[in-house]
Structure 1
């Protein structure tokens, strides 16, 4: 029951955050910092919040209509999707968004969330998008078992997503002449490439960290699942 309530809370929490950000956070079009092109869909923060809403909704549906057993006789499709979504996207992206945002913010907040945006972007929403995403996904890792996919599959999904996003922010730049994030304004092209590679390396490392942490927390369940898989293969 607590698991159901937690997943319901997560879905509502991030769903409302996405709604508020989309509808009520309106930076004037005259702002030199933010281009209106692509709206909120240009920010990884917003895209990740949508991802979290989707994940917690799927987790809730799995609680209600699927199952959370380590070795079910037949794993429901919704459970398979939920497990892959958590492993390949929900966990590494949440940790990546939170760590990079607060890391850059600590160095110079003007590079990631300029003070001029404070009247439009409330503090509570900032924490929903950049703090709570880490807290909720870590709690979920500790309270709900999932089996990670093969590493090649998980990393392929994650890297494809990240590379698509990198292409997307460049499309926006070449369309508008403005970078989505102020930090990209102060970097030349070689340094931008280094920045992208560091980000890609970090998010892949977070995937591996999540996989190891999951195996540590759910060692018995992982072992049971692996043994069950070997028996079925025979």
Structure 2
């Protein structure tokens, strides 16, 4: 009976391990594919977006020395950082040394905070505001004068695919939301820094990065639109938190199966314990010795499972 219990537990462990490996592989493939996509978009923009032949002063400035000041550019760069660290974390899972494991856990902790605090809210807000204004009048957010430089696919690569990457990461990987007040503080500081650069560009360079601000006749309208953008970012932080809870906390068994930071170590430990007891059992003679080994194995595995 003890042997049957052990076989049943081993089968469940193998099934759960297989499910975890499958989900880990899905996340790794997704991280690698998204990283390659973003890298190609960045390389293409740097190599082929050339403003030297255009006579439009606004285009020459915004796609020249001021290109890095677009909020969508900040969002894209943030996702590049997140994906780079995600791929690095995935790669470090192949290293079994204690130092590499500690490094992987530190990267995972930082990347988790980066994603929940910045990537999700900023990505969703960027896509929402951009495509909402674009649907009303594209000249207010992405003038047709950009088309010779930025093809449709590149526009989607920067303003649409960021939304897909953020949502897929939320679906494929469980994230931890810690201090909301700390996240609000850091997100507020991030938005304040961008506002300073955005307003500096207008007052010093004499140009609005987005034509919609030039089309507004009063500062009240500009402040209200800026507030709408900021509230969208803050609101999407709470939406991301809600979606993470909805997707994961309602499926606790799946969460246990895909928590790569702890589950993989537990599986390895279980496998090592089983191998040790099998080795001991094979060396002993007599049914009593074998039965004692099996009972001891069950007890240790049961205690580890409860932990």
TM range (shorter): 0.7 to 0.9
Structure 2: runs of 5 or more not aligned: 1-24, 95-100, 260-307
Aligned with 1:10 (options 12, 34, 47): 34
- The answer to whether the aligner puts 1:161 opposite 2:190 as a matched pair is yes
In 2, Cα distance between the equivalents of 1:203 and 1:106? 20
Deviation of 1:27 (Å): 3.0
Aligned with 1:54 (options 57, 69, 81): 81
Q: Following superposition of structure 1 onto structure 2, how do residues 207-222 of structure 1 map, counting pairs within 5 Å?
A: 207-219=237-249, 220=252, 221=255
In 1, Cα distance between the equivalents of 2:231 and 2:244? 20
Relative to structure 1, the CA distance from residue 39 to residue 15 in structure 2 (aligned partners, 3 Å threshold; closer, same or farther) is farther
In 1, Cα distance between the equivalents of 2:41 and 2:74? 11
Q: Match of 2:51?
A: 27
Q: Match of 2:181?
A: 152
Deviation of 1:198 (Å): 1.3
Cα deviations by residue, 1:80-101 (Å, 9 ceiling, x for unpaired): 1110110111111111111111
Q: Match of 1:108?
A: 137
Q: Is the 8 A contact 1:18 1:46 kept in 2?
A: no
Structure 2 counterpart SS, 1:125: helix
In 2, Cα distance between the equivalents of 1:152 and 1:50? 25
In 1, Cα distance between the equivalents of 2:48 and 2:175? 36
Deviation of 1:11 (Å): 1.1
Structure 1: runs of 5 or more not aligned: 68-72, 226-234
Q: Match of 1:78?
A: 107
Deviation of 1:26 (Å): 2.5
In 2, Cα distance between the equivalents of 1:159 and 1:18? 27
Q: Following superposition of structure 1 onto structure 2, how do residues 55-204 of structure 1 map, counting pairs within 5 Å?
A: 55-65=82-92, 76-187=105-216, 188-204=218-234
Relative to structure 1, the CA distance from residue 16 to residue 125 in structure 2 (aligned partners, 3 Å threshold; closer, same or farther) is same
Cα deviations by residue, 1:121-149 (Å, 9 ceiling, x for unpaired): 01111111111111111111000111012
Cα deviations by residue, 1:30-86 (Å, 9 ceiling, x for unpaired): 32323256432111111211111111111122222269xxxxx98811011110110
Range with greater deviation from structure 2 (23-32 or 56-65): 23-32
Structure ranking higher in helix proportion: 2
Number of residue pairs aligned between Structure 1 and Structure 2: 219
Q: Which has the larger radius of gyration?
A: 2
In 2, Cα distance between the equivalents of 1:13 and 1:97? 19
Structure 2 counterpart SS, 1:218: helix
In 2, Cα distance between the equivalents of 1:13 and 1:147? 26
Deviation of 1:189 (Å): 1.3
